[in-house]
Amino acid sequence: MSLDIYIKSSQKEEHICECPTCYNEHKCESYPEIAHFNITHNLGKMADACGVYDCVWRPDEHSINTCKQMIEPLRLGLLRLQEDPEKYKAFNPSNGWGSYEGLIKVLSEYLLICIENPDAKIVAWR
């Protein structure tokens, strides 16, 4: 099991798509994907300990819809992780699925995408 995070453009795009039911072409609208992140649920305790679990795993439950709302929580969580690596490495899953370094990498990339695309939409699938 894992968490999938999709960062979607705030700009709608129109295109022609084929309907899977009637096989006719129709005009469709979508929000292009800017980025996709996948995080194992095994890192949930580490994410909770550094204060990012709620906003990263459950943004919809905390009224976080856009990247600009995620910048500060990600920045603070990364700061906590980097200030005390040994504290957080203690949360590394014993089964080897997920790691402190992996969480740092994903959250760093996520933060960069949010800074570069503050109006983009966040969609999380648990």
Q: What is the pLDDT of residues 25-60, one digit of tens each?
A: 988 888 899 999 999 999 999 999 999 999 999 999
**pLDDT exceeds 80 at position 79:** yes
**pLDDT exceeds 80 at position 84:** yes
**Of 60, 64, 61, 73, nearest to 110 (Cα)?**
73
Q: pLDDT at position 29, please?
A: 86
Q: pLDDT at position 15, please?
A: 84
- 25, β-bridge pairs: 18
| Tokens standing for residue 120 | 């983009």
> pLDDT by residue (tens digit) across 92-110?
999 999 999 999 999 999 9
In this structure, what are the phi and psi dihedrals at residue 66, rounded to the nearest 5 degrees? -125, 160
Total count of domains within the chain: 1
Percent of the chain whose predicted confidence (pLDDT) is above 90 = 83
Segments forming the whole domain that contains residue 14 = 2-125
Can you list the alpha helix ranges (DSSP code H) found in the chain?
44-49, 53-57, 67-83, 85-89, 100-116
